[in-house]
A and B are shown apart, each in its own frame.
Chain A
Amino acid sequence: MKIRMKVMCVLLLLLPSMMIWSAGTKESAAAKADGKAEITIWDFKYGDVEGVQPAMKKIDDLIMSQNPGITIKHVGQPNDNYYQLVRAAVQAGQGPDIVMFHGGVQAYEFDDYTIAMDSYIADWRSEISEFSWAYCSENGDAKKPVHMVPLTTQGFGIYYNKALFKQAGLDPEKAPSDLDEFLAACENLKKAGIVPIVAGLQGDPFSIDFLFRCFVANIYGEDVKDLGTGKQNFAGNAAFKRSAEIVKELFSKGYMDPAGTSTPYFMDAANNFAAGKGAMFIGLLSDVCHWKVFCDALGIDGVGYFPTINFPQAKYKDQQVGQPAGIGYSVMTWSKNPEAAMKVVEGYARGEGNALWMGMTGALSPNKNVDIKNLGYPLVAKILEKPFVLDFNTLLLNEDANGNFDRYCAQAFVTNEISIDKFIAVSQGMLDNAQKAR
């Protein structure tokens, strides 16, 4: 009884002390901002303590040493709930000065709450291509003001393991140049007991999703943009139908890793490819699952790359699919120090900071002044020689781009619930949705 009373007293004391503690830390943070510009950054990448956080810490320090008046408070937020938090901040009309966005639709939704940057970036606008700036402008319209500074260029393509190609009697220096060669290569690999395509299909079937982005680049080329306006469509396009049939064929012939259906793409499938468990992998160009990771694992000269699979029905050849801005930073309208905030963003997007960003994280920077050859990976220089074709995924609504398309891919190719015609119909539905929203 007595002991219990003591316990209760201690617990009751906890309550006020807790309140004081949480309030006290808040006060000290406010006091620090006095006289100086304290810039708060939110992003969904800072939580990656191995790959990204060390680089960002270094860049923050660099920017602070170059701009003595600025203090940077970098806050990582969980990726899964990120936009929920940003919306909550918008509703409250207060929050971080700088916010990281995924390029495209997700960023456009916030155009009303991010500042127009044109006057701030005028001096160094030429360092980044207008292709990227247009994408980062209000609603993706090049004539409208820029609202985001791009930090990465994202893209997709097919990596292959040269040693395994050799083992299967294929020429490791020659990537399959068309569908017939590609299928023949798969057949040879399969005969040699090698998994032709390492796939990650559990949860979200990204391997198929990314492959389609490569196909669509070849089918529509420069006209991809018109998929958003209704001038081009999936429905009624013979080449698009053919691409779906090709994917079906890859499954029916067993070229896609049979274990792929229960392997998550991030990171299991990528780890499998890096460990030499299969010959080809549909990967990314920036951030993760890309040239740097694979070259580190399989040797600088051990990895080959080709951007897409050419097939006769497609109008174009060898198109490289890409997103002009994978991620980027925007400055929020409520920021009390937009100048200082823009200095921080600039620190990330160009010069020494940008070089650090690219060198340490394996991100591809859209900044032309950063010397890619310096990184010591000849493969990436080869990839970047080609101009990019816009990724059709960036034209879709958020929920279609980041969920529904993967679900349709799963239904059509993993679980075989829907026919190819139905797959084309629902894919066309996504284009219609995007048009309706405009």
Chain B
Amino acid sequence: MKSEAKESYLLIMPLMLLLLVFILYPVLANVYLSFFKWKGMGKATFIGLANYQTMFRDETFWVSIKNTLVLLLYIPMGVMLPILISALLREGLKGWSIFRAIIYIPNILGYVIMGMISSIMFRKLGPLNHVLVAIGLEGLALDWLSIPKLTLNTLGLVYGVWLRLGFGCIFFLAAMSSIDESLYDAAKIDGALWWRTFWNVTVPSIRFSIEFWVVLSFIEILARAFPFIYTFSRGGPGFATFTLEYGIYNEGFVAFNMGYASTWASVLFVICAIIACFQVALMRKNSDVQ
């Protein structure tokens, strides 16, 4: 036991070195850059807190914060749905593995591709509305991509819930398979209904997996959504789906105000750090249990 420290450090060395050079340094350099005016080339000029002042007066910034918050509201649904479906799949219905495989397909295609497909799906004359009209739901055949609130909520539903369903199912199925079968047997003897068993047995048993998934959901919405939004709606119509992350792209790679983009990024950094702290708290609790 005592002699393992040296080997251990050697084993985690590759990862730690890579993280130090390619992740930690860039993150810190970014915060540093937020005090400069820099067009992405040439010399950077130090301007102190001016970028932060500009940002807090920037209407677009507050809109992007608001949009990001709305998207975060979809997390509860994005957590519940895969758990429910996993619970259904777990019942051992005939052909359940095929279902699980099919549900995972959107994940394989990747965010960029799913964004492109979604932008076609939700057109006014697109497939979704055709189906809705065909089954007699004309009232629901809306112009999904040109009503700001609707587009934002569509984004939340598609990206925050549906797109992550496949991976969620695999994740929760794995977690559920470790539940002691005798708990279910006991519930059956008590004559508990499916719904009650789900709430009283399944959900508590996979509590830690759910907590991790919640944190992961925050990350995905705050910091991984850009490729999807870019291909889905380009942040539009207007500023309807313009998120904090999209703003970083817009300031950094369209306007090339790199210093100012770093200022936005620093806000995201702070939010991410807060979530990371939650995550740390979760892990600690988790490890205490272990």
Contacts and interface: CB of A to CB of B under 8 A. Distances in A.
B236 A410 contact: yes
A205 B250 CA distance: 18
Contacts of A258: 124
Contacts of A201: 146
A204 interface: yes
B236 A261 contact: no
A252 interface: no
A167 interface: no
Interface string B126-137: 100000000000
Interface in A68-96: 81, 83-84, 87, 90-91
Contact of A399 (B236, B239, B250): B250
A313 interface: no
B41 interface: yes
Contacts of B143: 261-262
Interface string A390-431: 000000011100110011101100110100000000000000
Nearest to A83: B256
B149 to A, nearest CB: 9
Contacts of A205: 237
Given A204-B234, A261-B124, A415 B39 contact: no
B250 A259 contact: no
Given A90-B41, A113-B41, A415-B148, 11 more contacts: A87-B256, A202-B119, A204-B236, A205-B237, A259-B125, A261-B146, A262-B126, A398-B256, A410-B236, A410-B238, A411-B237
Contacts of B233: 203
Query: B233, B251, B255 — which one has the most chain A CB atoms within 10 A of its CB?
Result: B255
Given A261-B143, A262-B126, A403-B250, A417 B238 contact: yes
B254 A410 contact: no
A261 B145 contact: yes
Nearest to A89: B41
Contacts of B13: none
A407 B238 contact: yes
A203 B229 CA distance: 11
Contacts of A352: none
Nearest to B240: A415
A263 B146 CA distance: 10
8 contacts: A87-B256, A91-B41, A203-B119, A259-B125, A261-B143, A261-B237, A399-B254, A415-B237
Nearest to B151: A415
B253 interface: yes
B254 A411 contact: no
A180 interface: no
Contacts of B238: 407-408, 410-411, 414-415, 417
A112 interface: yes
Contacts of B14: none
B147 interface: yes
A258 B123 CA distance: 12
SS class of chain A's interface: helix, strand, loop or mixed?
Answer: helix
Contact of B146 (A262, A398, A408): A262
Contacts of B239: 407, 411
A245 interface: no
Contacts of B254: 398-399, 402-403
A205 B233 CA distance: 12
A110 B132 CA distance: 51
A410 B237 contact: yes
Interface of A: 81, 83-84, 87, 90-91, 109, 112-113, 201-205, 258-259, 261-263, 397-399, 402-403, 406-408, 410-411, 414-415, 417
Contact of A262 (B125, B148, B235, B255): B125
Q: Which 3 A-B pairs have the closest CB atoms?
A: A399-B255, A411-B238, A261-B146
Query: A81, A91, A262, A398 — which one has the most chain B CB atoms within 10 A of its CB?
Result: A262
Interface in B152-205: none
Query: A202, A399, A402 — which one has the most chain B CB atoms within 10 A of its CB?
Result: A202
Interface residues of B, number: 31
Given A261-B145, A415-B147, A417-B148, A202 B123 contact: yes
Contacts of B146: 201-202, 261-262, 414-415
A205 B236 CA distance: 10
A198 to B, nearest CB: 13
B139 interface: no
Interface in B215-274: 233-240, 250-251, 253-257
Given A399-B250, A410-B236, A411-B237, A262 B145 contact: yes
A203 B236 contact: yes
Given A262-B124, A414-B146, A112 B42 contact: yes
A397 B255 contact: yes
A77 B147 CA distance: 34
A263 B236 contact: no
A89 to B, nearest CB: 9
A259 B42 CA distance: 46
Query: B39, B41, B144, B240 — which one has the most chain A CB atoms within 10 A of its CB?
Result: B41
Contacts of A91: 40-41
Contacts of A204: 234, 236
A259 B237 contact: no
B146 to A, nearest CB: 4
A246 B16 CA distance: 62
A204 B143 CA distance: 16
A410 B242 CA distance: 13
Nearest to B150: A415
Contacts of B253: 81, 83-84
A363 to B, nearest CB: 25
A203 B124 contact: no
B237 A414 contact: yes
Contact of A398 (B123, B237, B255): B255
Nearest to A81: B253
A252 to B, nearest CB: 15
Contacts of A87: 40-41, 256
A51 B41 CA distance: 33
B57 to A, nearest CB: 13
Contacts of A402: 254
Contacts of A259: 124-125
